[in-house]
Structure 1
Amino acid sequence: MRLKALLVSGVTLMAASVGSAAYAQQAALMPLPAAMSAGTGQLLVDGGFTVALAGPADPHLTVAAHTLIQRLSAKTGQFLAGAPVAKGATLTLTVTGVSAAVPAPQEDEAYTLTVTPKGASITAATSVGINRGIATFAQLVTNGPQGWAVPAVTIHDQPRFPWRGLLLDVSRHFMPIASVERTIDLMQAVKLNVLHWHLADNQGFRVESKVFPKLHQLGSDGDFYTQDQVRQVIRYAADRGIRVVPEFDMPGHTTAWLVGYPELASAPGPYTIERHWGVFDPALDPTRDSTYQFLDRLVSEMTALFPDPYFHIGGDEVNGEQWKASPAVQAYMKAHGLKDTAALQALFTTRVQAIVARHGKHAIGWDEIMDGDMPKDVVVQSWRDTESLKKAALAGHAGILSAPYYLDLSWPAGRHYAADPMPENLPAGLEGLILGGEACAWSERLSPENLDIRLWPRAAVVAEKLWSPKDMTADIPAMYARLDSVADDLAFAGSRHRAANEAMLARVAGPAGVGAVWSLAQAVEPLKDYNRSTQRPDAVQSTPLNRLVDAIPAESAVAREFGLAVDRLIAQPGDTAARTQVRSLLERWQTAETLLAPYRQATPLLAELAGPAAKLTRLAEAGLAAADAVATGKPLADRAAAKKALAEAVEPGAELEFAILPAVTRLVKAAP
């Protein structure tokens, strides 16, 4: 059963005297507000709903009002007035100051939202805080006996961390402007505030350079953003209170640069765009002044294009092989007393950081940049762990945590939610150096089609971890209880995580019809971590992302519900409701092989699912027998067959794993 908040007309959620944290946990909000108390009654959101603006004129505020109207229209299906009104509005947005053209790193994002049966208001210092308030207001709108409404409530809210980002890798698989802007819309909906735009890597240089045009002309396959498009995205993000921080990874991850400018490399060319995934040898030559002259001109151009005060220079995963094989580089290292390639990279990073600083920006880099003697204003982004972040803080560097928030690795939402950006045992006084964190969407196996399936709603869980007070983000079951409703809200805000899932499943099913693969799709998840690369090392940039593994969510909600029902049955064998739910799902999965059998050779997409479907059927049969044994107290008839089914299910094939395997295993172990 899907758990939804009782924020509906005529229902009193909780008395106002109850603590705001407890009240907020009941609401289908994500992130949870810092302080929230219930009022009496509700405010209707009907066809007469209007918005007024108050305070200094600010074009960002006008866009914020339109954004809210669009979201409410999509959510309620009502035709709402799009233009702000002068007086008598349902909701008034009030600012005390005018926001800058683009948000700053330390914006005042606090807001106060007040709702009574007669009207509502959101007040904030600038339109940035208003954007955070309208995200909450839109989530509060629910349907009930009297129609769409918002419960009477007072919210005082502000973020825990100032840096709450999402890294979008557009190098490995290019994402068109529509995908980027939709991602920004969804970031706004959950109060993320930094788009980390990973624009250049081995597989593509994705920004027009007028100074060095061969970067995008030869290094992008024609898939790049013009400078006008970049400005468009920056404006679009600023209207929603979101910063845009570019990343140009160097000295490694630069093969696409070298296609047009091989003279930058530490070994002679020619070079071609890298089509595979992994860590590769090519790297910029850190020993030649011409390299830094090139970078000075490129950084000058790109820092002028991107107004944010931070500029990401990458710095990760340089294996040093090209440097070790170059007599000229080795001679340079010997002459300058550099003991290894890590020391050489530290020299490179120091010089590049100076270039970035000369152009008025603060450099950001991945963990490896700490190997050099970096100025204290260089920010470290950790892809390793919180200990690396702690090391950076001890050295005086501000830090951003990404290690536990890799959305492309298909971890469950609960695993992301359990990770806190603040390192343990950090000495007092250094807490302010932990700026926050970023969810990462590396795109080896992401496309414009399945991007939302991989990002949403799990990115909202990371957003809450970075926004809400720490003591409100410790309850993983409570988080999951809200996640379904949040997923609904994100769909109304434009996410295609459900629509794309359905469309891609229909493609996979083809002549068989979606019903033939539906039960299998609910029982499986993509392989976690980097195990997909292990199963299919031949995957390249052009490998289609059109299989079942690409279409399904990272986490099966049905499998999770099944696991909870199994646990209830094991704890209370007489729980007939739990037994019914467990058996119903297992009986559905038991039909997987039968449903698919007539079509298993119809298409290659279906043929690869024959093995997983057969294994799922046997796994379900083992689960049914075990569930009956648990419920009745009678011995499991064929334990050997059950164990064999469990063993077979460890490797379903097709880059999948059975999400229901742990719960079925618990059933078999619990059976007498």
Structure 2
Amino acid sequence: MSIAFMDEGEAAAAADLKPLKPLQTWGHSLVPWPAELKGRTGELPLAGWCCPEEGPLALRALARRLLPDLQTTAAAEGKVWLRLEISDTSPAIPQLGDDESYRLEIATAEGEIRLSAPRLWGAQHGLHTLSQLRHGALLAGRTTLPGLRIEDAPRHPWRGLLVDVARRPLPFETLTRLLDGMAAARLNVLHWHVCDDQAWRLASDRHPELAARAGAGFSYSLDQARSLVAQAAERGIRVVPELDLPGHCWALGLARPDLLCPPAPQQAQRGFGIFGAAVDPRQEALYDFIASLLDEWAEVFPDAFVHIGGDELTPEPWRRLGLPLAETQSGYVRRMAELLAARGKRLVGWDELRGPGLPEAAVLQCWRGAAALQADDAPGQDLTLALLRSAGFYLDQFHSAAFHWRTPLSQPAPPSPPLAPGAARWRLQAALTLHLLQAELRCDARGRAQLLLQAQGPGSLHNEVPLHTLSIEGTGTADLPWRLRARGDCDLGELELWCTVVAQGPGEGVLRLGNLRHRCTLQALEPTEDEAAARATTHIAPRPRLLGGEAALWSELVAPAQLDLRLWPRLLAVAERLWSDPAPEAAALESTLPTRLGAAQAWAEQHVGVQARASMQRAWAALCEGDAGDALSLAGLAALLEPAGGYARHHDKKREGRYHLDEPLNRLADALPAESAWALRLNQISLPDACAQLQRCREALPEWQALLQRHARLRPLLPLLPTLAALLDLGLRLWQDLAPGALPAAERAQAQATLHAAAQMVDELVPALVQALQTRLDAL
């Protein structure tokens, strides 16, 4: 059975275009949202555009690609002129802080489209915006483009994407194709993670042993690196390489065992995780090697920054040598900073490096959340260091686009008022896929509650930090049963809690992280004694030098076939946060995010070369062993499913001994986006349409059962079908003949229990219907 409604939301999303109301008119077309967009009188036809034969050749070539019917000519009667005006056309290498602003005017007094910018980079951004506007108008069935004036510039100068090629490399052509997608998302930094425990992927003329012994069979040549830098520069993108030390050096140890603490690795590392390997900071040969490598890199990478890694260092190798940990790291960082400064480079490192030894010009990349940069965890460290944020932007985790979009870049909100003295306290525990999550829940007689999450699981030298604090609302008093429902974002992802507790007794509940739900227990603790102890939120010192942030795509579960599926459309959600955070229209922009991302992805697939949908279809065909009819039927079933959220898939593979490079990425979970677009739209369509779609899915279950039984790689999904049947039956009940307040209490409780039971992982997948039905149940 083919489910035709899978990809039809795009045209509907743009159908309500109205002239001269910018947000209402273009709210379904533009991602990232521009800084200022105003309607103006006049309109221009969508056909018959031409561009003078002047200006930079690369810009005119981009205009022809993004505007396919654009003609380049010296003179034309009755045409709509696209004027490209750049103040500085001299070729240049992009640098941090370049002027990327532009002005786009549609229907000027002369009846033209005028795009003006100080630099080439801004003009390229403007062309992407114009192409998106045209695409949205065509989707809406328009023949004209209403008059507009856009004044736009990025809020943050560093807007990056980390690509991990050390674990699973990308073909060079795929890597360079990625640059067009980055430019379309207005990103301007490619953070190239070229070395890690699994492999050292960048060859070296000075150290050929790196490719020969540490490359794991695939290395990029220095000429390819130069080509990548040149192609990136044409698009206004800087390339920042990462030399990930002093940990994550297993592969380096295969080529240069003399540089590591003993014992040196003996064979290639195929697994993923944190391993007990570290460079020996006592060896002067280590710094000679790094200096030689940096000399070579300086000839290839013109950017002013080099990333030196610094994350997840296991302390045991240094302890075995009797080295004091903090002092040794400080000395290592200081030496690295000196080597970089001698070559005119600035240091970037992960947030574990914060502490003595960092120069004032260093940049810290925060990946462990705001708590990793608390004012009291690094005495004497100047908090004026420039910062990048990656926490909340990990695209290899399976979080929703809305979660990434909501992740704040700017200064956290001030601490919330403390709970009243004597607040009741409980220790909350939930067994996740691999680790035990612990939290403390506090509730006071004023009906307020706070949740403090703590990090659990294997850590490293600097990895034991609090995760997050949520201020939440509950019902009841400290001495009566609490029926608590809380929802918020934390460093682990979206979190939701249902529980019932009493002040001096145990309790139980359900904890949702992403799209999975876990049973949790609560054990009473002694009440808080004073107001200071009850303050749950952490003070974060001011950080005025926020440069921006980076989305991160680690490749444990990302091979070339999954690249576009993992990036799009969520990369656009992060890109908007980096470009225009915060936008005055934030509430309206968030409410339209799914439809805007859908339209923007369709635009990127048509004009930029994004292959997310094509990747999905190829994988479905392979799962169905080339049967086109079965692949079409599988597409319908796939609409109801999504990969397990967060790191649940990673942990499931680790628990079963499948977390390594030899694990094939050929499950249905590898062929789906992070979230179901159909499930996101279910609450946005009319009641009759929702009922009709749910009924069609219910009727398709026998066909899907036969499909799964026919193909060996799909059979593990058979246990999902009874769960889907229960969810579809519940959906039909919730969407039929029910008004708010009409659902009996007993039936509501049963419906909630059905949703809790359904949000479990089967073959690394979760029913996407759960959250859509939860939204509907809450509305009733």
With the shorter chain as reference, the TM-score category is 0.7 to 0.9
Measure, in 2, the Cα distance between the counterparts of 1:430 and 1:668. 41
| 1:206 alignment partner, one of 196, 201, 209 | 201
Contact 1:46 1:147 in 2 (8 A): no
Report the CA distance shift for 1:441/1:428 in structure 2 as closer, same or farther (over 3 A): closer
| 1:485 alignment partner, one of 592, 599, 603 | 599
Taking the TM superposition and a 5 Å limit, the aligned residue runs for 1:243-322 are 243-322=238-317
| 2:671 alignment partner, one of 527, 531, 551 | 551
| Residue 351, structure 1, aligned to residue 335, structure 2 | yes
Report the CA distance shift for 1:34/1:270 in structure 2 as closer, same or farther (over 3 A): closer
Report the CA distance shift for 1:109/1:643 in structure 2 as closer, same or farther (over 3 A): closer
Query: Offset at 1:387?
Result: 4.4
Q: Percent identity?
A: 32
Provide the residue aligned with 1:362 in structure 2.
346
The farther-off stretch of 492-501 and 460-469 is 460-469
Report the CA distance shift for 1:483/1:275 in structure 2 as closer, same or farther (over 3 A): same
| 1:467 alignment partner, one of 572, 579, 589 | 579
Measure, in 2, the Cα distance between the counterparts of 1:194 and 1:237. 9
Query: Offset at 1:560?
Result: 1.1
Query: Offset at 1:228?
Result: 1.0
The farther-off stretch of 24-33 and 104-113 is 24-33
Query: Offset at 1:449?
Result: 1.1
Query: Offset at 1:354?
Result: 1.3
Report the CA distance shift for 1:84/1:193 in structure 2 as closer, same or farther (over 3 A): farther
Spell out, residue by residue over 1:260-319, the C-alpha distance to the aligned partner (whole angstroms, 9 max, x if none): 111111013343332111111111111111111111111111122110000000000001
| Residue 649, structure 1, aligned to residue 758, structure 2 | yes
Letter in 1 for 2:99: D
Provide the residue aligned with 1:615 in structure 2.
723
| 1:324 alignment partner, one of 316, 319, 330 | 319
Provide the residue aligned with 1:124 in structure 2.
117
Report the CA distance shift for 1:390/1:640 in structure 2 as closer, same or farther (over 3 A): closer
Measure, in 2, the Cα distance between the counterparts of 1:396 and 1:666. 42
Letter in 2 for 1:32: W
Measure, in 2, the Cα distance between the counterparts of 1:100 and 1:295. 32
| Residue 532, structure 1, aligned to residue 652, structure 2 | no
Query: Offset at 1:44?
Result: 3.4
Report the CA distance shift for 1:151/1:99 in structure 2 as closer, same or farther (over 3 A): farther
Report the CA distance shift for 1:196/1:51 in structure 2 as closer, same or farther (over 3 A): farther
Measure, in 1, the Cα distance between the counterparts of 2:359 and 2:262. 30
Report the CA distance shift for 1:654/1:345 in structure 2 as closer, same or farther (over 3 A): same
Taking the TM superposition and a 5 Å limit, the aligned residue runs for 1:445-460 are 445-460=557-572
Higher strand share: 2
Query: Offset at 1:639?
Result: 8.1
The farther-off stretch of 610-619 and 398-407 is 610-619
| Residue 37, structure 1, aligned to residue 38, structure 2 | yes
The farther-off stretch of 582-591 and 272-281 is 582-591
Spell out, residue by residue over 1:439-458, the C-alpha distance to the aligned partner (whole angstroms, 9 max, x if none): 11111111111111110111
Query: Offset at 1:152?
Result: 2.2
Report the CA distance shift for 1:422/1:640 in structure 2 as closer, same or farther (over 3 A): closer
Query: Offset at 1:66?
Result: 0.5
Contact 2:277 2:317 in 1 (8 A): yes
Query: Offset at 1:380?
Result: 0.3
Q: Secondary structure at the match of 1:454?
A: helix
Measure, in 2, the Cα distance between the counterparts of 1:649 and 1:130. 49
Measure, in 2, the Cα distance between the counterparts of 1:84 and 1:223. 46
Measure, in 2, the Cα distance between the counterparts of 1:255 and 1:592. 50
TM-score norm. by structure 1 comes to 0.87
Contact 2:20 2:40 in 1 (8 A): no
Spell out, residue by residue over 1:48-82, the C-alpha distance to the aligned partner (whole angstroms, 9 max, x if none): 5334434xxxxxx3212212211222xxxx4x44x
| 1:153 alignment partner, one of 148, 160, 167 | 148
| Residue 503, structure 1, aligned to residue 618, structure 2 | yes
Provide the residue aligned with 1:435 in structure 2.
547
Letter in 1 for 2:266: Y
Contact 2:20 2:147 in 1 (8 A): no
Measure, in 1, the Cα distance between the counterparts of 2:119 and 2:25. 25
Provide the residue aligned with 1:571 in structure 2.
none
| Residue 397, structure 1, aligned to residue 397, structure 2 | no
Provide the residue aligned with 1:663 in structure 2.
772
Measure, in 2, the Cα distance between the counterparts of 1:664 and 1:513. 28
Spell out, residue by residue over 1:231-263, the C-alpha distance to the aligned partner (whole angstroms, 9 max, x if none): 111111111111111111101111111111111
Report the CA distance shift for 1:139/1:348 in structure 2 as closer, same or farther (over 3 A): same
Q: Secondary structure at the match of 2:218?
A: coil
Letter in 2 for 1:14: L
Query: Offset at 1:514?
Result: 2.0
Taking the TM superposition and a 5 Å limit, the aligned residue runs for 1:331-342 are 333=323, 338=324, 341-342=325-326
Measure, in 2, the Cα distance between the counterparts of 1:145 and 1:665. 31
The farther-off stretch of 61-70 and 304-313 is 61-70
Taking the TM superposition and a 5 Å limit, the aligned residue runs for 1:95-174 are 95-116=86-107, 118-141=111-134, 142-143=137-138, 150-174=145-169
Q: How many residues align?
A: 630
Contact 1:612 1:652 in 2 (8 A): no
Contact 1:24 1:33 in 2 (8 A): no
Gaps (5+ residues) in structure 1? 55-60, 566-576
Contact 1:262 1:270 in 2 (8 A): yes
Taking the TM superposition and a 5 Å limit, the aligned residue runs for 1:503-522 are 503-510=618-625, 511=627, 513-522=630-639
Q: Secondary structure at the match of 1:608?
A: helix
Spell out, residue by residue over 1:358-413, the C-alpha distance to the aligned partner (whole angstroms, 9 max, x if none): 11100100001113321110100000123445759952210100101111111111
Provide the residue aligned with 2:505 in structure 1.
none
Contact 2:13 2:595 in 1 (8 A): no
Query: Offset at 1:602?
Result: 3.2
Query: Offset at 1:424?
Result: 2.3
Report the CA distance shift for 1:91/1:165 in structure 2 as closer, same or farther (over 3 A): same
Q: Secondary structure at the match of 1:249?
A: coil
The farther-off stretch of 460-469 and 627-636 is 627-636
TM-score norm. by structure 2 comes to 0.75
The farther-off stretch of 662-671 and 395-404 is 662-671
Contact 2:387 2:546 in 1 (8 A): yes
Letter in 2 for 1:477: S
| Residue 237, structure 1, aligned to residue 221, structure 2 | no
Contact 2:201 2:211 in 1 (8 A): yes
| 1:68 alignment partner, one of 63, 70, 75 | 63
Q: Secondary structure at the match of 1:350?
A: helix
Measure, in 1, the Cα distance between the counterparts of 2:560 and 2:268. 20
Contact 1:590 1:618 in 2 (8 A): no
Letter in 2 for 1:506: A
Contact 2:28 2:595 in 1 (8 A): no
Spell out, residue by residue over 1:204-237, the C-alpha distance to the aligned partner (whole angstroms, 9 max, x if none): 2111111111112222233221111111111111
Report the CA distance shift for 1:250/1:630 in structure 2 as closer, same or farther (over 3 A): same
Gaps (5+ residues) in structure 2? 1-7, 415-538
Provide the residue aligned with 1:58 in structure 2.
none
Measure, in 2, the Cα distance between the counterparts of 1:615 and 1:7. 34
Measure, in 2, the Cα distance between the counterparts of 1:350 and 1:219. 27
Query: Offset at 1:468?
Result: 1.5
RMSD: 3.0
| 1:91 alignment partner, one of 56, 79, 82 | 82
Contact 1:526 1:655 in 2 (8 A): yes
Letter in 2 for 1:116: A
Provide the residue aligned with 1:178 in structure 2.
173
Measure, in 1, the Cα distance between the counterparts of 2:667 and 2:272. 19
Report the CA distance shift for 1:37/1:613 in structure 2 as closer, same or farther (over 3 A): same
Report the CA distance shift for 1:306/1:506 in structure 2 as closer, same or farther (over 3 A): same
